[in-house]
Each structure stands twice: as C-alpha cells, then as structure tokens.
Chains A and B, each alone.
Chain A
Amino acid sequence: MPAPEDLVSLYTAKVAAAPDLAALDAVRVEALGKQGAITQLLKTLGKMDPDTRKVEGPRIQAARQAVADAIEARKAALEHEALEARLASERLDLSLPVEETPLGSVHPVSQVMDELSEIFADMGFAVAEGPEIEDDWHNFEALNIPEAHPARAMQDTFYVDTGEEGAPPVLRTHTSPVQIRTMMREEPPLRIIAPGRVYRSDSDATHTPMFHQVEGLVIDRDIHMGHLKWTLETFLKAFFERDDIVLRLRPSYFPFTEPSAEVDVGWSEQKGRRVVGGSEGWMEVLGSGMVHPKVIANCGLDPDEWQGFAFGCGIDRLAMLKYGMDDLRAFFDGDLRWLKHYGFGMLDTPTLSAGVGA
C-alpha cells in the first residue's frame, strides 16, 4: 500500500498539472472516486486493529482532505480562467447610440397660462372662458365703448361677415368681454382671470393679427385701487420669481375703467439684456383700473353696491419677458427647432411648492 503522504504528493502534482476541468475531474476520479487510490486506502481502515486505526485514520483522512482541497482550489482557478476567457471575448460597443425616445414640448404660451392659473389660484381666482367670435355688445357696448368711440378705431377690429343688417360679430379684440359674461352669469363676489386668444387687424414686426391676453377681474363691495396694486405686485413677483419687482401706476384712459391706470414694471440690464426687476427704466406691461360704474350697471349689477378692478395683459409678452424670446411671429410658426428650444417639458408643470417657472 502506498503511504498517504506519497499519494498526496502524487495527486496534488496531477491536480496542478490538470489543464482543464475535464482533466481535473479525471484526477478526482483516480484519487477520490469509488476505485480511487485514496478511497482504497480509506477502505483498509476497517480491517485495522483499533490502535493502528487510531494512527492511520487521521493520516489517511488528512491525505483525502488535502487532495480534495487541491482539487477544489484548482477547480475554482480553472473556472475563473474559463470565465475570464469568455468575458474577454464578449464585448459590446456601448458607445453606439441607443434608440431615442422622442421628446415633445409644451408651447410657452400654454406654459405661461398654466403659471398664471397656478399663481392666481393661490389668490382665489378661477379661470373663466368665453367665445372668441363675440357680439358687438359684449366686446364694445357693454364695456362702455360706443360705436363712434375713438377707442374702437384704435383697436383695429376684425369683423365677421354675416351678410345681415346690424352690428356684425367681431373677433374679440380683448379678453374683456369675459368680464361681462362672468358678471352676468355669476353672483359676486367674483375673482377670475380669463386667458385666451384675441385678434386685431395689425401685422408687423411686433404685432400679429392673433395674440394672447389674460384678463383679471375682482368684484366685491370694498375693493379699491390699493387692492389692484397689491394684486399686480404679488402676481408679477410670483410670475417673474423676483422680489425686486417695482411697479409704476400711471393715470390712463380705458372706456371700461375709471379711474384707469397703465402699469409699468421696472427693468434693469443684466448681461446686456433687459430683464424685469429693478428700476433702471420702465416698460409698459398692462392696463388696469376700477371697473367703470356703467360697465357694472350694464351687467345688471348695482354700481352703488358692487365695485372692483380689472386688468389686461399680453401673455405672449409676459412669456417673452420671462423666457427671453424676441420675435413674436415665431410663436405662431410651429417651427420644431424653436419649439424644442423655447418649449417646456412635460414635467414642467408649475406648482407652488416647486415654483412657477421652468
């Protein structure tokens, strides 16, 4: 019988020499298989007297363990080598482009309308709507703009041809008719904004025949111009996300408000660009005033009981001032390059907690 230590030397050498897992398994069978040399040695233990077994047992077991360990170690090493070899052959050029998910955009006008809704909702204003093809009464008469009023000529109205006698319908020249409709439909107190498309037959570098306005209206018993001023300050500070917004109210004239005020906002120059905030200069941003008693009466309300303010402001212009576009005409072109640049992402929903700008 060979000495266990000899077998250990023999097989550990063979294990070390096994070039692959198959050869290693052959060594395992030769040493530790049913007929394996070390297995044969183990079988001799049963025939030994107890004293001999006490000595030989551990020797043989140690030899078995040593060979088994060597096989296990070699196996792990060979497996590792095999994995390395496979991985070395498996390579993807991950610099290749992946399939793009197309990304769309929200138009700046829509984004700004959402921002306005959010800001004014916090001040308790609902969003009201009205028709764009308006009758003469809602667009003019009820707003204290009689037919020969110079303000009519100023507004460059589009008329709708009905082929019938009488005052033709118009494309609303401002969002103010929504004031009238709201006052006639709902019971005061009222707080609304009314954003939407408006039309004037005007077309040049800075005017388009269609543009967007937002109207504001508050009707209650004790509303005065101080509330108007606060509302506009609060709105513009929230909208432009700046605390240094300065307003200047100037006496003005609109047939549907009295007293009337044109509102300028202060600007300052930053990086060669005029931005809203500060007071290096003034730019006109909106028209406003206390709703004219005649207008309130025209809506069936008692002007001795109800009063309030109204304002109107260009949405496209607000967007340009906040987001830096300089060409109004591009708003209505649908140029994908422009929309990708100036448009907003789907998740840019304005919220009070995350901010109303994007």
Chain B
Amino acid sequence: MKFTLSWLKEHLDTDASPEQIAATLTAIGLEVEDVTNPAEALRPFKVAKVISAERHPQADKLQVLSVDAGEGPMQIVCGAPNARAGMKGVFGGPGTYVPGPGFTLGNATIRGVDSSGMMCSARELELGEDHDGIIELPADAPVGQSYADYADLDDPVFDVNVLANRPDCMGVHGIARDLAAAGLGTLRRPDSDALPPSEDTPPVDVRIEGEGCTVFWRRAIRGVKNGQSPEWLQRRLKAVGQKPISALVDVTNYFTLDRARPLHVYDLAKLQGDIVVRRGRGEADRFMALNDKEYVPTEEDIVIADDRGAIGLGGVIGGAATGVDESTTDLLVESAWFDPETVARTGQRHNLVTDARMRFERGVDPASTREGVEAPVRMMIAHAGGTASAPAVTDVSPPEGYPYRRNVVAYRPQRLAELAGIDLADEAQRALLERLAIHPTDVARLCEDHADPAAAARHYEAVARKGGWLLHIPSWRPDIEGEADVVEEIARLHGYDKIPSTPLARPFGVARPTATRAQVAERRLRRTAAARGLHEAITWSFVSDAQAAPFGGGAHRLANPISEELKVMRPSLLPGLAAAARRNLDRGQSSVRLFEIGRRYLAEGEKPTATLLLVGEARPRGWAAGKARAFDPYDAKAEAYALLEAAGAPTGNLAIFEGAGADWHPGRSAALGLGPKKILARFGELHPALLKTLDLPEGTVAAEIYLDAIPAPRSKERARVAYAPPALQPVTRDYAFFVPEDLQAAQLERAVAGADKKRIVATRIFDRFEGKDGLSLAIEVTLQPRDKSFTDEELAELSQKIVTAAAAKGAKLRT
C-alpha cells in the first residue's frame, strides 16, 4: 500500500516528520518497507527557457538549442519534435544523473556540435510514460527554479506492508486513523456533504441471487463528459504507481486507495437490461475483463451480469464491455459488499490480483457501502459534470453475516497483563481503546436488535459480572473477535517495546537432558561419518520421475511441482547424492565421499535414513603407496558398520545377507540385519544399470542405514558389567583351512569362535588365497587362559575342537 505524505495529511493533521511517521507506522504494525522522495533525484533539474532553436547542420531530426536555466545560455543538441524557441521545459546540465535511462550527463559532441546537457521528457525523469517530446511547462514557470520545487514533487512516498487482517488500512484514511490513535496527530473527518436530492432513480434494476453479495448501492450520473482527471489527482495516482486513465476511472481508483472502498462504474449505454448479481455459469459467462483478458466464471464465483451474461467478477474485476470511456455520457456507480472468502477464492482460482480483490478479501467496511457512493459521485460530477440520480439499494439480510452483525467483544482488562505482560490501569486501557473507536457499550443497547433479547441480556450480564467490559468494535475492524485481539490493540498502541522481558521459570538444578534416543543416535552417526572423512550434504526431498523410477517410483507426487526435476518425494536418498556426486566429479573432484541424513517418503510413511555414497578414489596415488585405489564394496562395509555402531546398533549380532536387492550389484552387495526381515542396512556396489541412469561410474559404492530399524538397547543402565582384566597373557594360534568356494568367511569365523566360547576370545581372518588346490582361509585365534596357563594337552584339545568346528562347515585344515 503506497501513499504520499501530502495525501496522508489530507486525513491527518500532524506536524510529524516523514521519519517520525515511518517509525510510528512500523511500531504500530504497519511496517514501512520504503520511503522515497521523487524530488531527491530531480533536485538538479531546473526550469529552463529555450531562447533559440536552429536546425542541426548535420542532421535533419536534430535541433541546436540555446537554453537558459538561470545561468546564461547553454548550447544543447535536442531531438524532440516539440522543442522550439520560446517554450519552457526541464533542463539537466552536465554532471546530472538522469533517472529514467539511468545515465549521467556530460559535455558531448553530437554530429560535430557541442551539447552541454539536455531538455527532458517525462519518461526520462520517471514522471510518466510520455517520451514523444520534452516536457512543456506553462509560460509563467520561473526560469532557474528547481523543477522538483516548481512541480511540487517534494512529497515522500510511503510503501507500507498492510497485514492480511487489516482491511481498514488498505486506504489512506484508515492509516491516518491508526496514526491518530497512536498519538501522531488528529484524524480529519472526510467531508461528507450530501448530494443535492434528486427525484431521478437509476434506470437499471439490480437483483441479488444467492449468497456472497449482501448489499449493492448505486447512483446514476447523467450528462457527463469523461475527460482527463485533474492534475492533482493524476499526480497522486502516479506517485503511488497507478496510471491515470480518465476522470471517471481515476475517481473510482482514488477512492479504492483513499478509503479502501472499491467502486465500479458502468456505462449505462452499454448495459443490456438489468443487473443480476449471481453465480457464474461457466462458458456461457465468458467475458473480457478490463485487463484485456478473458475469464470463465465458475459456479463458485460471484458475477455481475446483465442480459448478455457476465460483465464482471464481483469484488475482483469489471468487464470491458460495460466500461466507461471518453464517449460515456451516462453511468452507474456501484458500491457493494462481497464476501471475503468468496472473493479470495475467485482471485485464487483465476490467479487475479486487483486492488478491489485485495480489499474485499480482507473485508471491506460494510458500513461504507452507502456513504461510499456519495463522495465519489460528487467528485465525478466536479470533474466530469452531469447530475446524480437518487441512490438506490438492493440488499439481502443473511442471519449472521455482514453487514448487519453488531460486533461486540467481551474483554477483561486483566487479560492485558496476563497475555502481554503489560501493567496498565483500566482507565489507560480504556483511553487507548477509545482512540480506536472501540467503545464500551451497555447491555440494553446491545440487546436492541437481537433476535432473543432476554438471552442476549443474560449472556452480556454474565460477562459484565466477571469484571469484563462489553466492547463495541467498529465496523471497519472485522479482525477484532476476542480478548486476545483487544490485548493486541492496546499493546501495539502502548508500545511493544514496553513489554517487560520476563524469564521463564527454571527448574532447580542442572538442566535435564531432552534429546530422545533417536536424536542422540542421529547426532552420533553424523559426527562419526564426519570423523571418517564423509561430508554431509542436504539434497532436495523431491526428485524427478526418472530418478525415482529405479527405486520403485515415488509414492507421493506433487500436484504443483515447480519443475519436472523436483516432482516426486524421494523414495531413496541415492538420486540426490548421486546428482551431487556427479556435479562434484564434473568440477574435477577425484574422490567424493558424501552422506545425508534425511527421510525417504514411502507409501507406508516417512523413514529416517542415513545414506552414503563413495565415488572415485579411496586413496590417491602416492609416492609410498603407489597407484590410486578406487573405492570398493569393503569401504562401504566399513562405513556401514562404523555408522551402525555409532547409532547404537548391535553390530556384533548382525548377520550378513548376500545381495542387497535390485538396485545393487548382486554379487558385490549385502544386507545387514538381525534376521532376513529385520534389515538395518544395505551396502556394496550399486547395480551397473542403476549407475548408468544415475550417470555415475561403474564401481560406485554406497550404503544405506535405516535408522528407525535400529532396536533400542536393552538396558539404559549406566554402570557396566563387572570386569577385571585377566592376569595371564592370551595365546594366539593360526589355522589355515581349505574351504568350499561358497563358504562365507564370516561363517567359518563364527564356527571357529563357537568351538569354545569360554576360552576363544577373538578370531580374525588374516589371509585368503585362491590357488589351484582351492580356496584357503587363514584365521588367527586368541585363547585366553583364566586361572592358570594352558597345558600342552589343553592347547591340543582346543585345536582339535577348532578343527572339528571348522570341518562342520566343510573346512579342511591345511597341512
């Protein structure tokens, strides 16, 4: 919402500076986004007289002017067709910045003729669109005066962000009212002289069918001549970014901005039959709107229609067919009230933002419909002539709706301290409310037009007994519905800066831990990953269809994605990480270690997951280690185990299941779980076909950890199981076995470890060799004696048990 200082002062009697006004606006909730003064940029431009104008010797379309801007003749070259000796215009000398085209004037030579400055067009000074010629000033304009001063442009423009619940501040008058309430001046009453009485009635009838429009006031004006609106009005509209069109249209636009009272004007000659306010009828109602676009009103939209069909979307935009233009002689002025929700939906449905919509959807003051038509009609007659008819109205009375509801809020003054923390005496609170025209009222008055006055009286009296006030809320404040709203009104006028900072009660002692087990597990996993050389990425939660397809497709698709690339909620974190890895490879990275902790969005829910991707070199080439080593599935395994461990998974109990699934290399991937249905993680090399679609090199490895599958630890006990280090040194023995090709090393290890669970405390595969005699695995076994050292017999017996246990898996001791 934009307005100028002079405009505001028409509604507010104040001596406050623009800075004070801006600060107060922000303090009371009308955030000032910008204050600009167009005069600032135009200060150096002067009123100048063209002394002489000669043809340029080298160019037909150029003239050489001698110009006096108060400091003697200056020679300039000018291309404007209207430049001529004797005229007055606006001159900018060398060194002046010209805001329109955005350059600084210098001393130039144009086709061999020196030129020291320029005479400006309206567009060059950002004062309008006109660029057909230079600005022409009246003959009495004083040469040498600053043009900004001469044209009275020294008028700061405020740009205020009006909150969605403040329809009253969508007009300059409402903003002035709020400033006056904040103590910044006195509100001026807009003049409200009645129009002369008339016997004439508007020639068209208006009928309202259905809900959404409750009242439709109108007056006709006959015999107008629709020319340009007066200079002051044009300037005001231009200052806030509106384009002047004609006197009649400018007046309606002016009242929309001035009083937050949207109006509409119809050319009576173009109306066909009477007006009906009704619901849209689809294609039959297709019409061309004033913005030169076609709309097809639906059954949800309120339309204004005549005999031919829709001629406007109620409260949003009018139709081109009945619009006023320079030929208009008779017109109808409408001041109606449309339901905010219906208007908002219509605006959303047709993707149409207009000044009218922005006001109706917030809630136009329902009391403004009748008087809303008077001042505009008076102004139209003043500038376009004609005579007004008597007003006419069509209205319906919905049981609960506007404009007949009397808005009363029960308020207990102690709520100010309870909700806002502000201590303010009742009288002071009451005084602030009075400034907003919120008046305490008495029960009798409230019950006057109530359907059940006795019940109403009982209700209101009960409120009053609790020490509450019954507040009558003015018609322009539909946002004030309850005590909390009243508290906000008092608090914002009193000043939010006076809210006392008050510590929250703090329980005695050291703060208690608050993180859940899952949160702690996630934090540990994240920092472990970082410790192990992985970089945490955050990638989009949405991916493309193509990216989701290899993972079974997305279970959740966006109805309104911003692009095809960000359309489906990801079923896996891999596509996002793969795309990030690809970008890194393209930037020349030779080794990419990325991980992400986030959700997979599956049909059964949002699954917290940690995924990592390793591409390129695990170790770079080096003078000691030789050639670079690429990542392999064992790297992925190492990360998976480390991260599972960090997240509190029972890694010692995990079984390893060959082949992690369709997205993985069948022979170079595995799942880790507490059972085939309790999978905690997958890792290994990704399937070459998947890698092709992900645009990553073959051999890329990854791991996925399913955080919600990790079981909670059995014990929350802090104390550890009792333990004393054994006094005797452990003994190690090595065994080498020929094993069947399909025997997993882990199976051999588990068998060996199980040979004597008491004395075998550790096993480790330390060699693997595939020769012509078959596959050989060598395992180091650590034996821990307890009370006394092992005897040779005991060691022989243990060895025998180990060999037997291994044999059960088909392993033969190498001899």
**What is the interface of chain A, defined by CB distance below 8 A to chain B?**
96-97, 99-107, 109-110, 114, 117, 120-127, 131-133, 146-151, 153-154, 158-161, 168-169, 171, 191, 197, 199, 201, 203, 209-210, 218, 222-227, 229-231, 233-234, 248-253, 258-262, 290, 292-293, 307, 331-337, 339-340, 343-347, 349
Contact = CB atoms under 8 A, between A and B. Distances in A.
Contacts of A160: 556-559, 569
Nearest to B513: A121
Contact of A199 (B531, B541, B559): B541
B677 interface: no
Contacts of B589: 336
Interface string B329-371: 0000000000011101101100000000000011000000000
Given A127-B514, A132-B541, A159 B560 contact: yes
B599 interface: yes
B496 A104 contact: no
Interface of B is mostly: mixed
Nearest to B29: A251
Interface in B771-796: none
A110 B587 contact: no
B533 A104 contact: yes
A126 B583 contact: no
A249 B496 contact: yes
B504 A104 contact: no
B798 to A, nearest CB: 39
A109 B342 CA distance: 41
Contact of A340 (B164, B535, B576): B535
Nearest to A105: B535
A331 B596 CA distance: 13
Given A227-B504, A331-B538, A150 B519 contact: no
A252 B26 CA distance: 10
Interface string B481-525: 011110110011000110111111011000111111001000100
B163 A253 contact: yes
Contacts of A261: 496
Contacts of A147: 341, 345
Contacts of B504: 123-124, 191, 218, 223, 227, 230-231
Contacts of A344: 530
A222 B421 CA distance: 10
A258 B488 contact: yes
Given A133-B556, A201-B560, A259-B492, 14 more contacts: A109-B538, A121-B511, A121-B513, A132-B606, A151-B164, A153-B347, A160-B556, A201-B562, A223-B504, A253-B164, A260-B488, A290-B419, A292-B484, A334-B594
B530 A123 contact: no
A227 B421 contact: yes
Given A290-B484, A293-B484, A225 B419 contact: yes
Interface stretch (B2-10, B235-243, B619-627, B711-719): B619-627
A104 B531 contact: yes
B15 interface: no
Contacts of A346: 527-528, 530-531
A104 B530 contact: yes
B623 A96 contact: yes
B619 A335 contact: no
Given A99-B622, A133-B569, A154-B164, A114 B523 contact: yes
A224 B421 contact: yes
A60 B421 CA distance: 108
Nearest to B421: A226
B596 to A, nearest CB: 8
A293 B120 CA distance: 59
Which of B507, B511, B513 has the most A CB atoms < 10 Å from its CB? Answer: B511
Given A225-B491, A259-B420, A262-B31, A230 B537 contact: no
B125 to A, nearest CB: 30
B131 interface: no
A104 B593 contact: yes
A104 B499 contact: no
B535 A336 contact: yes
15 contacts: A99-B619, A103-B530, A104-B536, A104-B593, A117-B514, A150-B344, A151-B164, A168-B559, A169-B556, A171-B558, A209-B562, A229-B502, A252-B29, A293-B482, A349-B527
Contact of B532 (A104, A223, A337): A104
A99 B558 contact: no
Given A107-B537, A259-B419, A334-B577, A148 B341 contact: yes
Contacts of A171: 541, 558, 569
A230 B584 contact: no
Nearest to A117: B515
Contacts of B96: none
B561 interface: yes
Which of A97, A101, A199, A345 has the most B CB atoms < 10 Å from its CB? Answer: A199
A229 to B, nearest CB: 5
A210 B485 contact: no
B496 A332 contact: no
Contact of A102 (B342, B559, B593): B593
Interface in B560-612: 560-562, 566, 569, 576-577, 579-581, 583-584, 587, 589, 591-595, 597-599, 601, 605-606
Contact of A226 (B501, B538, B595): B501
Contact of A133 (B166, B342, B362, B601): B601
Nearest to A222: B418
B511 A104 contact: no
B29 A210 contact: no
